[in-house]
Copies of this chain bind each other. A is one copy, B any other.
Amino acid sequence: MASLVGGRPRAAIVASGSELVRGDRTDRNGPFLAAQLLRLGIEPARITVVGDGRGDLEGALADGLRFDLLCVSGGLGPTHDDRTIELLAKAAGVDLVVDEALRDQIEEISRRVAARLKRDYADFAGGVQKQAMVPAGALVVGVAGTAPAVVLEAGPCVAIALPGPPRELQTLWPLALDTEPMRRLRARGTALVRRVLRFYGVPESAVAQALADAGGDGGGVDVTICARDFELHVDLFVEPGAEARADELESHLIESSARFLFAREETTVADLVLGLLRGKGLTLATAESCTGGVVAARLTDVPGSSDVFLGSVVAYADELKTGELGVPEHVLRTYGSVSAETAAAMAVGARKRLGADVAVAVTGIAGPGGGTEEKPVGLVFVHASGPMGERDVRLDFPGDRGTIRNRAAVAALHLVRRLLTEP
């Protein structure tokens, strides 16, 4: 299972959680860790999702220890069915020991939590004792909530146990990388340089065809093409020495879809739009019907967005489109609330009413109900308005309510980007 001598190290990822193996929730940690490993030149060989039952988890951990690296997520909590640490120690053939410093740290955190919740610390004491146990020889790299992340050398394998909540895992991951066992393992990987191309509006098959026309990947350049958040994310992973081939492929991919390329770095369109506006000294507002706040939520998810983004009117009811955004009643009556005319009036109204330089408006039918033959579910109108002019687009999205709403929000952000960048 481990790599051959001299080959790239190979990793197994184990995501533990009954809610995951039962399909109640989709594992996000496996894909995150796999993508991270790939960049470090470590090959993600398998991702295994198991419940927290003793036999299944122990089997997966023992299996994982046959790789060069084992990354485990979940099962570090205080409850009876959090068994990762115990079973990792067992699979690695080492004892469980109490880490005193860790115990003090978790106790301090738990006492603060108890005080905040106005509960007796005694409720937490059992959990504290349990969470302070680590496999003998393990390094504690950090604590998320009250869950410790550990790195353990188990024979030729390095094992990392991380908490299950994705944000906590992502916070502690860099700390785990920054340990001596992981530094040694990483030195054996061929760190690949990643080049990033981000497209919007081009089908996956067209980029795949362009890649094939250019001779395909290989020769030290691995290309992944991935539809994500309604954009197309193309990554080139380049081995040392393959830069010339990478240049060639990259140029070909860019030329074949040049007008759809919007970024050559890892960024979100929300970030990009806020940066463009900031650079021009302009402010932004949104007027949303079918997206119901999703565009505003995506913009305000970016730290520091408040210097550019003023706010939004979510006008779900037609009365608010008139009252708060000044959409003329005759426009609603003549064209309907889902129309290019209403979208335009919403955007213009938002600029005026909210005092923003630029505004984008979205109106559409997210479904599942409300569609007609003339205006089916998935029909969305987006309008962007600013001192440089107007832009609008009519879209027909397939998919369910959530897909349509998110796709419409992404379309709105890209329309603002085009308003700001295209003449």
Contact = CB atoms under 8 A, between A and B. Distances in A.
A312 interface: yes
A403 B290 CA distance: 25
A386 interface: no
Number of copies: 2
Contacts of A48: 46-49
A171 to B, nearest CB: 8
Contacts of A227: 165
Interface in A6-40: 17-28, 30-36, 38
A398 to B, nearest CB: 8
Contacts of A291: 297, 300
Interface stretch (A88-96, A112-120, A154-162): A112-120
A203 B119 contact: yes
A306 B316 contact: yes
Interface residues of A, number: 108
A78 B293 contact: no
B50 A22 contact: no
Interface in A333-352: none
A19 B44 CA distance: 11
Given A46-B50, A396-B116, A320 B310 contact: yes
Contacts of A124: 203, 205
Interface string A306-341: 100111111111011001100000000000000000
A184 to B, nearest CB: 23
Interface stretch (A97-105, A132-140, A206-214, A412-420): A206-214
Interface of A: 1, 17-28, 30-36, 38, 44-51, 53, 56, 59-60, 77-81, 113, 116-117, 119, 123-124, 126-127, 165, 167, 171, 203-206, 208-209, 211-212, 216, 224-228, 233, 235, 286, 288, 290-297, 299-301, 303-306, 309-317, 319-320, 323-324, 353-355, 367-369, 396, 399-403, 405
